[in-house]
Structure 1
C-alpha cells in the first residue's frame, strides 16, 4: 500500500530530486508559493518552495523502490525519521495542503463595480471595509479604506476581497 513520507533534500536540489524520483514511479509533492521580492531594485514575483529542502513522497516500499533506493536518489539527503524507520504521514495532511494551494482565479468580469463596498478577508487590512476603486492589472485591485478620517488607496489581491 502506498504511504506518504517526508524527505529532506539537498539545498536547492528539490527539482532535481523530484525529476529522478518520478523516473522511479514515486509520487512527489512539494508546495510552492508566489512571493514578491525586490531583485536588482525591482519588484518581481518569484515562485519558492513553501518548505525549503523538504518534499513529500508517496510510494509502496514493498512493491516499488526501497527506502535505500529513494534515499540514494540524486538530490535527496534522507528521510525524516522517528527511530529507525521513516515516519509515515497521514494522507489528509498532504491533500489539505494540495487543496489550499489551488488559487482562486477571479476574472476582470467578476470584479465588483466602481464604488461598491467590499470587505478585505486576508492580509494586514483583514476585516476592514473598503470601497472598490479600479483594477490594478489582472490579479490586484485598488481599494479605498478610511484611516484616521482620511481615504487611503491600498492595493489588494483580488482573491483577498469579499464582495
Structure 2
C-alpha cells in the first residue's frame, strides 16, 4: 500500500492553498499494546500499514515447573517500536487492533532516537530481533571481579537468580572466605 502526500505546490494558485512542499518525517515511536499482543501489532503494522517495526525479544534460561528451559520473551513486555510519520499514519497506528496507545511525552508522541534502535539491533547481532544474554552463572563457577574496589580479585559463585541482576560470590582473601552480593555486570567468568 503506497501512501501519497498531497503536494500543494502542483495546484493552481487560484485554489489559494499554501505552496509548502510536504515531506514525510519518519521517526521511531514506541507503541503500547495489550498483554502478549506485541507480535500481532507488529505484524499488522508491517503487513497492512507497510510500516517498519522492531520488536526486540530476549532469549534466556528460565526455570519453569522445576525444569530449566531456554525461552524467548519480549525485551520490553507490551511495547514495540514502529517507524512512521504521525502526519500520515497516526490514526491508523493508534487505532490498530490490540494497540492501546502511542507513548507520549506531554501532548506529542515520544520520538525514539535512531541510535537506540541501532544499538538494540547491534546487540541482537545476526539473530533476527532476538537478544541473548551471556550464559547463566551457576554455583561453583569461577569469576573475576571487573569493576569496583575489589577489581581483579577471583571469586566463586555461591548462588544466582536468573530474574535478578545480582549474584552471591565467595571471595578468597588471605585464606579467609568472605561472602558478597554483587551485580552481574561487575564480574566475568574465568575460563
TM-score w.r.t. length of structure 2: 0.53
Q: Which residue does 2:30 correspond to in 1?
A: 6
| Poorly superposed stretches of 4+, deviation over 6 Å | 118-121
8 Å CA contact 1:7–1:57 kept in 2: the answer is yes
Q: Residue 128 and residue 100 in structure 1: after superposition, are their counterparts in 2 closer, same or farther (change >3 A)? A: farther
Q: Residue 100 and residue 74 in structure 1: after superposition, are their counterparts in 2 closer, same or farther (change >3 A)? A: same
Q: Which runs of 5+ in 2 are unaligned?
A: 1-24, 126-130, 133-142, 156-170, 176-187
Q: Which residue does 2:84 correspond to in 1?
A: 59
Structure 2 residue matching 1:66: 3-state secondary structure: helix
TM-score w.r.t. length of structure 1: 0.62
Deviation digits for residues 16-73 of structure 1 (CA, Å, limit 9, x no counterpart)? 10110101111111221112112222110100111111111111234xx521110111
Deviation digits for residues 73-93 of structure 1 (CA, Å, limit 9, x no counterpart)? 112110111222211221111
8 Å CA contact 2:94–2:101 kept in 1: the answer is yes
Q: Which runs of 5+ in 1 are unaligned?
A: 105-117, 131-145, 150-159
**What is the 5 A alignment of 1:1-163?**
1-23=25-47, 24-62=49-87, 65-102=88-125
| Structure-1 separation of matches of 2:77 and 2:93 | 19
Total equivalences in the alignment = 128
Q: Residue 161 and residue 101 in structure 1: after superposition, are their counterparts in 2 closer, same or farther (change >3 A)? A: farther
Q: Residue 84 and residue 33 in structure 1: after superposition, are their counterparts in 2 closer, same or farther (change >3 A)? A: same
Structure 2 residue matching 1:33: 3-state secondary structure: strand
CA positional deviation for 1:99? 1.0
User: Which structure carries more relative contact order (alpha carbon 8 Å, separation 6+)?
Assistant: 1
